[in-house]
Structure 1
Amino acid sequence: MKPWETLAAATTPDGGSFELCRRDGNYVIQADGYDLMTSYEHGSEDSMMSLACPRPRENACILIGGLGMGYTLAATLDLLPPGGSVVVSELVPEVVEWNRGPLGPLAGHPLEDPRTDLIVGEVADVIRGSKSRFDAILLDVDNGVDSLTRAHNSCLYTAEGLAAAHRSLRPDGALAIWSAGTERTFESRLRAAGFTASTHSIRGRDKRGGHYFVFVGRRP
């Protein structure tokens, strides 16, 4: 099999490694050697907005944690009315550069949409600094709530982190978290933080590919 070609690399603030790789027109972003995002299997990422906020109000504001390859952002913009806005928080500046470069055409250059507001920094800081601001928060920064790409991200899924997310949402707003596994106890954590909770199993592509999961916690 043809090997993956490494196009670029980056180092996270806590010393982790990100690599952008390509093979036969397909792209992968790896975190410390593990696939974090691929261009050929992104159905679950595409579904996050429709699960969290299927009918956004005219001036809805959505927060996305983790830019990835731009698929979640593109799907969010597709559902968002002209008066809405999306705040994207991406920790690694090079990932932004990759999305403005070779990855841009994959999702239709969503960073160029005027409704997109990009922040290079910690999504946890954005959440903690907001109150009743967001109609939905879409988090895709790890391979699961117990399968972290960096240790610092654990703060997003603790009781304190979930409480901060709850405060930052508007009434009836929703928190959606992508996961490669079921993490069966996580619904209980969401309920303890005041959310109603559900778990959705999504195929990677066109009812094929691997099974992935999206946890949805809704603020009453």
Structure 2
Amino acid sequence: MLPRETIATASIPGSENTLTLISHGRDFVIMLGRDELMGTRMQFSEEQLARLTIAELSAKTPRILIGGYGMGFTYRAALDALSESAEVRVAEIVPEVLEWASGPLAELTGDTLEDPRGDIVLCDVGALIDDANDGTCEKYDAILLDVDNGPDGVVRDPNDRLYTRTGLAKAREALNPGGILAIWSAAPDHKFTQRLIGAGFDVEMREVRARPNNKGPRHTIWFARRK
């Protein structure tokens, strides 16, 4: 059996939790404590978060906000699916995650950090949602959230506000009419579905496998459209 090797660790701002980057043969994993947050063997559902959302957008040159860079699966999938005139903004709260992207994960990252359509910002995604609401920046055609393992603040307590009725209402107002809020989760949560509906969205929930060809664990993605 191949050993796991710790490459680096990072503290999470606003949390006592720690992220650990681990190599396992040719694969990489980011751990939150003892729990696996993401890894290169099971990235399909995070890519689908971008692809399935973009396929539903009517805007020809969408403006997209992604909450959480992670290993860049969602970001790269968005770039692959978008036109040359689209915009993708990414909010990442942990500085070391971006250092890993250009360091030990550079082969995975490729040249996407230099893509002119992308803008990676070191901040809380909630702050960028607030900016769209107060007119500091333009509104978005889609907001993709993969900052926790589901609709609660697992990674850091301040993330809880993203999934409250108030937080969801703010996300809704940060979208252009017909825009989509898409949220990745490791498991379904029917109460959260009702919360999205209560916040004024038309909601569809889909199960997506973690690996292509219908393999791996089943993950959940909510697609909540602003009416």
Shorter chain as normaliser: what TM range? over 0.9
Q: 1:180-199 maps to which residues of 2 (within 5 A)?
A: 180-199=186-205
Give the alignment of 1:18-167 within 5 angstroms: 18-54=19-55, 55=57, 57-131=59-133, 133-146=139-152, 148-167=154-173
Q: Give 1:30 deviation, angstroms.
A: 0.8
Aligned partner of 1:216: which letter? F
Aligned with 1:86: secondary structure? strand
Q: CA deviation at 1:194?
A: 0.7
| One-letter amino acid of the structure 1 residue matched with residue 115 of structure 2 | D
**1:56–1:80: 8 Å Cα contact kept in structure 2?**
no
Structure 1 residue 104 displacement after superposition: 2.8
Counterpart of 1:48, as a letter, is L
Correspondences of 1:168-179 after superposition (within 5 Å) = 168-179=174-185
Range 161-170 or range 56-65, more displaced: 56-65
Alpha carbons 2:203, 2:225 under 8 Å: kept: yes
Query: Counterparts of 1:147 and 1:121 in 2: how far apart (Å)?
Result: 16
Q: Which amino acid aligns with 1:76?
A: A
Query: In the TM superposition, what is the alpha-carbon distance from 1:58 to its structure 2 partner?
Result: 3.4
Counterpart code for 2:225 = R
SS in 2 for 1:182: coil
Q: How does 1:2-13 map to 2 (within 5 A)?
A: 2-13=2-13
In 1, Cα distance between equivalents of 2:62 and 2:38: 27
**TM-score normalised per structure 2:** 0.92
Residue 9 of structure 1 aligns to which amino acid in structure 2? T
Alignment deviations for residues 80-137 of structure 1 (CA, whole Å, 9 cap, x no partner): 1111110000000000011112223225342221111011010011111103610100
Q: Distance in 2 between matches of 1:208 and 1:102?
A: 27
Deviation at 1:57, TM superposition (A): 2.9
What is the distance in 2 between the residues matched to 1:67 and 1:104? Answer: 14
> Quick check: 2:185–2:219 contact (8 Å CA) kept in 1?
yes
Distance 1:138 1:145 in 2: 12
Structure 2 residue ranges without an equivalent (≥5) = none
TM-score of the aligned structures, taking structure 1 as reference length: 0.95
Say whether the 8 Å CA contact 1:142–1:148 is kept in structure 2. yes
Q: Does 1:213 align with 2:200?
A: no
Q: Identity of aligned pairs, percent?
A: 41
Provide the aligned length of Structure 1 versus Structure 2.
220
Distance change in 2, residues 1:190/1:139 (3 Å): same
Deviation at 1:31, TM superposition (A): 1.3
> In the superposition, relative to structure 1, how do residues 96 and 127 fare at CA in structure 2: closer, same or farther (>3 Å)?
same
Aligned-partner Cα distance in 2 for 1:56–1:85: 15
Is contact 1:58-1:82 (8 Å) kept? no
Whether the 8 Å CA contact 1:56–1:79 is kept in 2: the answer is: no
Which has the larger displacement, 139-148 or 73-82?
A: 139-148
